[in-house]
Structure 1
Amino acid sequence: MIRLEGLHGQTVIVGSGIAGLVAALEMAPQPVVLITRAGLGQECSSAWAQGGIAAALEADDSPAQHLADTLRAGDGLCDETVASGILSEAQEAIALLESYGVRFDRTADGVFSLGREAAHSHRRILHVGGDRTGSSITSTLTRAVPQCPSITCLTDINAQRLVTTDGHITGIQLQKNDYAEVLRTAQVIIATGGCGGLYDASTNPSGNFGQGVMMAARAGAALRDMEFMQFHPTALDTPQTPMALVSEAVRGEGAILIDQTGRRFMAQVPGAELAPRDVVARAVHQIISRGGRAFLDARATIGSDFAQNFPGIHALCAISGVDPARDPIPIRPVAHYHMGGIATDKDGRSTLHGLWAIGECAATGLHGANRLASNSLLETVVMGRRAARDVAGRGMRTLPTAPKSDLLPDNDLGPVRPVVSKYLGVVRNEMGLRCAISKLLPLVETYGRGSDPALVALAIAVFANLRCESRGGHYRSDFPDPSSQSQSYLMTLTEILAHAGSARQDPLLRTA
């Protein structure tokens, strides 16, 4: 049973990672309903973020330099205006988090202790508890939410579909166990995280297959840049699922990448270990695809200080019998962060009236083709606050009577993960992408247990098939060079299905 009495007509926020929590808190005193499929702050990527939050705070740094690094990493597809606006609000975002009780690491002199990560020209990464930034921020915000009387939390509930009338949001279908009901609302903020769970190897919660993207697409909202998945180059290479991340901050403190022979294979690459993530991920992938192994070696540069500087990573390594002070850490690239998602403007508004999207499920234009490290946590805070203010300034529309809701089957990623992992990984090609489309489209059309995750995977495959070049997180072995003319793609589900249908007709697939 889902008790919705007295909640109809309130703004709904789906997701309780940092983006959703900030939006809910910043909506006060306007009443909101915060919906999460688990407990507050649980099963979200925010809580697992080891890195930090990027902000240009040093005297010799500036938002302009931060922007230049972001545009360079984004490989030509960032929206410069949007990116500039978000990065210029970094200092305000830090102050906002501190107002809710977040305590960033500081030096003995009381100033912020700033780290450096790949593709950043300055030390501008703030941390909390060393490598526990995401979990510390999330836990602080989850303690603040129950103290805010304007927020009603509905936990252990799945949001399944957006309800629309004449192109406007009029409700959201919720489901718990064997019960489904529509909560009537004209304002929904989607903050459901990424889709790394579509892959066999990912640092994301295994259930995160892009639920928010799926709901938005089915309701008619446009998607952007779905082909761009960032593969983190240094996940701990163990059978653990999801895979544990070895933060980029370890390389920022001097750790190097070596192969099984001890050769430092990034030494001659511009930026070396701190080159953009797509470059490092492909280099690691190449070592492994040739039958070798890759390791992160922190013995000489960090050594006995590793446990103190990176307590969370040290504990994860210890579970596998690895002591980073004495042993190279075995690593491999895995799906980590999705740069694409629901297309939004600078305030988080989607192309569908009454729908906003924030955090990893949204494509604001900040990240372009390749996210600059630690910009994502900054984006969650800035966009969470922006969306909250934009929604709060609007009145709730008159709502029709809620339609009857049909119980939907539980999602099954079993048929989808092998296809995504084989064809939509670090290296892609036309035949593989068309094979993926031919296998995923029937799953979408069945409307069975695999239909929803297959829809998100199909969107990635279609966007990737259309991009006949290599750029950022999208690498095509058949088109290894970037195009001289490139742009972001924007498509609705109708357009995605049309492209998929055409690709499936390729006669070469009949023998594939």
Structure 2
Amino acid sequence: MMPEMDGQPVIAGAGLAGIMAALSMGRPCILLSSGLLGRDTASSLAQGGIAAAMSAVDSPELHAEDTLIAGAGLCDPDVVRAITLCAPGAIEELLALGVPFDRNAQGDLDLHLEAAHRRARIVHARGDGSGAAIMHTLIAQVLNAPYVTVVECAVLEHVQTQGGKVSGVVVRHDGVSHVLRTNACVIASGGIGGLYEETTSPAPVAGGGLSVAARAGARLIDLEFVQFHPTSLVTKTPGRRPLVSEAVRGSGALLIDETGARFTDELAPRDQVARAIAAHIAAGHETFLDAREAIGKSFPTRFPAIALACHNAGIDPVTMPIPVHPAVHYHMGGIETDLSGRTSIPGLWACGEAACTGLHGANRLASNSLLEAFVMGRAVGRDISGFTVQAPPERLAPALVAYGDYRHILGTYAGILRDAQGLTRGLELLTPHIGHDGSALVGALVCHAALHRQESRGAHYRRDFTRTDANATRYAFTLADVFSDMPSLEKVFS
């Protein structure tokens, strides 16, 4: 963290969105990676690929319709149309950058079907290693970009504002806090999966960017919508759960219990499948994904990463059903942005899972996340390329934030099945810590938003409000709004 870094845009997060923002900026910028570059990012772990209308029987309009249906009435239709329209061009651009997307025997892109898509439109790279293949290609690009300074093992701790605009940031690098003077900051730090015990996300992806944005006064939106992937691999070791991709069910694998009986529609939207599995487990059953007949001996070649994870857990997917449970996989909510990635605070942008554009609504359509990360990361970079970046004259005092372990609280009280009693209890347990702990703050805000939405919709299911409210709208708020509704929280926070 040298003084000459002052006055450069700071990008917090080096997943697909953050890297695309840096590459698209075309000017000196600082890219913060919470660990080693390419490690501990959800982008690198993505299996399913990127959704894009690339066939003669498909179109961006059909892609948009499927996205709107999955979003359960809370997508922003203009955003959906804009991003799905960009999808074919995004694939072409990634191909030009060198991403090795899979081809079929005729040499065309090998398109796959996933849940809630009416057309085969999922573009894979190296089978179920799509995210890793894309990131490998783009990391090489960013390391060769002379205008990007990559700082590893660094996280954004604080965004300082003056006159309602960004005036500087505090970055923790190798355990030491540094102040950088800049009026341009991008939050691309990922979602909140690390706040839950059963998750497919890396542990560091725990809502740090949302905490920083909330404290700075940015508007947040749709925080109650936390998507549980129906099929994570059940392992005997704690920590991140390996994902058994949607593509496995798209290839014909069946969900069965210990008796061998099917109990739900495998290709229903993710929220419905996740709830069906959770309910079956609650009724005392074990749940499995059976690929023996539909995929069989081709499993290791079609899904090599999943096959390896299964073998590491003592499971042979060719001859054995795969034990699965739901796990937190994606956060539809986040920092509210427009289609340029601008937030409610001038000088602050957000993209990727930390942001919320309105594309996903109440329930993300499979494989739209990498698409959004690419399109919006690029949009942010291009927007900042024409922004006048300065180093405000005043140096700022560091603001330190500790992070505790609240995974059990979130999983118990703000999980797949929710009610007012549990969400209120979650708030009670988290509130004493929100003044000094970013994880507690984000967890409390998720509980607050879930309490506010007194209906069931998409990934948000209230046992005490099981019906969908036809008049419900999206819920956006700032930290000041929450304090106005709940003065007790402000007293603890201050």
Calculate the TM-score normalised by the size of structure 1.
0.94
Cα displacement string for residues 256-299 of structure 1 (whole angstroms, at most 9, x for unaligned residues): 10011111001xxxxx2110000000000001111211100001
1:158 Cα shift?
Answer: 2.0
Q: Residues 504 and 428 from structure 1, CA distance in 2 versus in 1: closer, same or farther, beyond 3 angstroms?
A: farther
User: Secondary structure of the equivalent of 1:332?
Assistant: strand
Of 97, 100, 106, which residue of structure 2 is paired with 1:100? 97
Are residues 1:219 and 2:216 paired?
yes
User: Secondary structure of the equivalent of 2:101?
Assistant: coil
Of 357, 361, 379, which residue of structure 2 is paired with 1:386? 379
Letter aligned with residue 432 of structure 2:
P
Cα distance in 2 for partners of 1:307, 1:403 equals 54
Are residues 1:465 and 2:465 paired?
no
Cα distance in 1 for partners of 2:439, 2:152 equals 22
User: Secondary structure of the equivalent of 2:4?
Assistant: coil
In structure 2, the gaps of 5 or more residues are none
Partner residue in 1 for 2:234: 237
Cα displacement string for residues 397-451 of structure 1 (whole angstroms, at most 9, x for unaligned residues): 4612212325x254222xx112101100000001111111111111113x2xxx1
Of 13, 23, 26, which residue of structure 1 is paired with 2:21? 23
1:502 Cα shift?
Answer: 6.6
Q: Residues 377 and 51 from structure 1, CA distance in 2 versus in 1: closer, same or farther, beyond 3 angstroms?
A: same
Letter aligned with residue 165 of structure 1:
Q
Cα displacement string for residues 157-181 of structure 1 (whole angstroms, at most 9, x for unaligned residues): 1210011111111111011344211
Partner residue in 1 for 2:295: 302
1:12 Cα shift?
Answer: 1.1
After TM superposition, where is structure 1 displaced by more than 4 Å over at least 4 residues in a row? 500-505
User: Secondary structure of the equivalent of 1:51?
Assistant: coil
Cα distance in 2 for partners of 1:37, 1:398 equals 24
Q: Residues 16 and 504 from structure 1, CA distance in 2 versus in 1: closer, same or farther, beyond 3 angstroms?
A: closer
1:139 Cα shift?
Answer: 1.2
User: Secondary structure of the equivalent of 2:231?
Assistant: strand
Contact map agreement 1:434 1:504 (CA 8 A) in 2: no
Contact map agreement 1:213 1:341 (CA 8 A) in 2: yes
Are residues 1:202 and 2:199 paired?
yes
Q: Percent identity?
A: 45
Of 85, 88, 108, which residue of structure 1 is paired with 2:85? 88
Of 293, 296, 308, which residue of structure 2 is paired with 1:315? 308
Letter aligned with residue 94 of structure 1:
I
Are residues 1:412 and 2:404 paired?
yes
Contact map agreement 1:298 1:324 (CA 8 A) in 2: yes
Give the 5 Å matches for 1:22-421. 22-28=20-26, 30-240=27-237, 241-266=239-264, 272-397=265-390, 399-406=392-399, 408=400, 410-413=402-405, 416-421=406-411
Contact map agreement 1:78 1:366 (CA 8 A) in 2: yes
User: Secondary structure of the equivalent of 2:289?
Assistant: strand
Letter aligned with residue 433 of structure 1:
L
Cα distance in 2 for partners of 1:90, 1:405 equals 41
Are residues 1:431 and 2:382 paired?
no
Partner residue in 2 for 1:9: 7
Cα distance in 2 for partners of 1:204, 1:496 equals 28
Cα displacement string for residues 201-234 of structure 1 (whole angstroms, at most 9, x for unaligned residues): 1000112111111111100000000000000000
Contact map agreement 1:36 1:155 (CA 8 A) in 2: yes
Cα distance in 2 for partners of 1:296, 1:160 equals 41
Are residues 1:475 and 2:461 paired?
yes
Letter aligned with residue 18 of structure 1:
L
User: Secondary structure of the equivalent of 1:296?
Assistant: strand
Cα distance in 2 for partners of 1:278, 1:255 equals 18
User: Secondary structure of the equivalent of 1:194?
Assistant: coil
Cα distance in 2 for partners of 1:97, 1:188 equals 25
User: Secondary structure of the equivalent of 2:210?
Assistant: helix
1:497 Cα shift?
Answer: 3.2
User: Secondary structure of the equivalent of 2:309?
Assistant: helix
Q: Residues 314 and 178 from structure 1, CA distance in 2 versus in 1: closer, same or farther, beyond 3 angstroms?
A: closer
Q: Residues 178 and 335 from structure 1, CA distance in 2 versus in 1: closer, same or farther, beyond 3 angstroms?
A: closer
1:140 Cα shift?
Answer: 1.1
Calculate the TM-score normalised by the size of structure 2.
0.97
Partner residue in 2 for 1:508: none
How many pairs does the alignment contain? 490
Cα distance in 2 for partners of 1:345, 1:396 equals 20
Cα distance in 2 for partners of 1:403, 1:298 equals 57
In structure 1, the gaps of 5 or more residues are 267-271, 506-512
Letter aligned with residue 301 of structure 1:
A
